[in-house]
Amino acid sequence: MANTWRVNAEGVTLANGKDLLDVFNNSAARVYRVYRMFAINSIATAGIGVVGYVNVYRIITSVSDGTDLTTSIITHDTANSALSANFSAGTNRTVTLSSLFRRVPVSPDEALLLTVDWDSISTVVAWCEIWMAGYGSAGIIEPLTCRASTAEGYCIYSTISTNLGLDCEIEFTDSAS
């Protein structure tokens, strides 16, 4: 098993052209592999939702501004070695978008008791997994990879105009090669 880490951002307000959550390797000599991303509907109060997209992008060059969540990155095993100081996570940062891997239509409206609609079932974890590496093909399909000594990362990026929010998570590993 590789050292595994997780960062989450709760109740991130959506906006058109917004970095909801990102991880970025600022050229550390480590390899970071993104295995899973989640976008979970956590809206419990009435709002006006719209259909839009959360997108999975590679980001490059640098990140700046926004809210740094690096100190909020949590490990799956507290015995893991600390992450490089050149690795960071954040939300609402200024990012440089590179390749688009996926855009997932989402319905960010309030979830309701006793209701089965798109909004409400978007609280079910299995259906909130917007990216999964391999889907069971372990060791065959590459996860989204941040190469060593290269400035690149991955982000969940919103193209939705609404003031409602989602919880976002990125699960990744840290290894020497």
Partner 1 sequence: MNTWRCYAASVAFAATKHMICIFNAAASARYIRVYRFFGFPTGTTGITSTLLQLRIARIITSLTPGTTITPVAHNAGNTSLDANTTSGTGSTTTLGNFYRGMYISTEEIAITTFDLDNMWCLVPFAELWNAGYGDSNVEPLTCVPATAEGWSCYSTSALTSSAWDFEIEFTDAAT
Task: Kindly state the tokens that stand for 71.
Answer: 């100190």
Instruction: Specify the stretch interacting with partner 1 by CB under 8 A; choose among 2-10, 17-25, 77-85, 145-153.
Output: 145-153
What phi and psi values does residue 42 have, to the nearest 5 degrees? -120, 25
* 134 dihedral zone (left: phi>0; alpha: psi -120 to 50; beta): left
Residues 3-62 that bind partner 1 (CB under 8 A): 49-51, 58
Our CB check for partner 1 shows the closer of 90 and 143 to be: 143
Our CB check for partner 1 shows the closer of 44 and 74 to be: 44
Based on the shown chain and the rule CB under 8 A, indicate whether residue 1 belongs to the binding site for partner 1. no
| Single-letter residue type at 62 | S
Residue 59 in contact with residue 95, Cβ under 8 Å? yes
CB of 139 to partner 1, least distance (A): 8
Based on the shown chain and the rule CB under 8 A, indicate whether residue 177 belongs to the binding site for partner 1. no
Our CB check for partner 1 shows the closer of 76 and 102 to be: 102
Round to whole Å and give the CA distance between 143 and 145: 6
Task: Kindly state the tokens that stand for 99.
Answer: 């390749």
CB proximity list for 76: less than 8 A, separation 6 or greater: 4, 5, 6
Site string for partner 1, 95-114 (x = CB under 8 A): ----xxxxxxxxxxx-----
Neighbours of 118 (CB within 10 A): 14
Our CB check for partner 1 shows the closer of 88 and 122 to be: 122
Binding site for partner 1 (CB under 8 A): 49-51, 58, 99-109, 116-119, 121-122, 126-127, 129-133, 135-145, 147, 150, 152
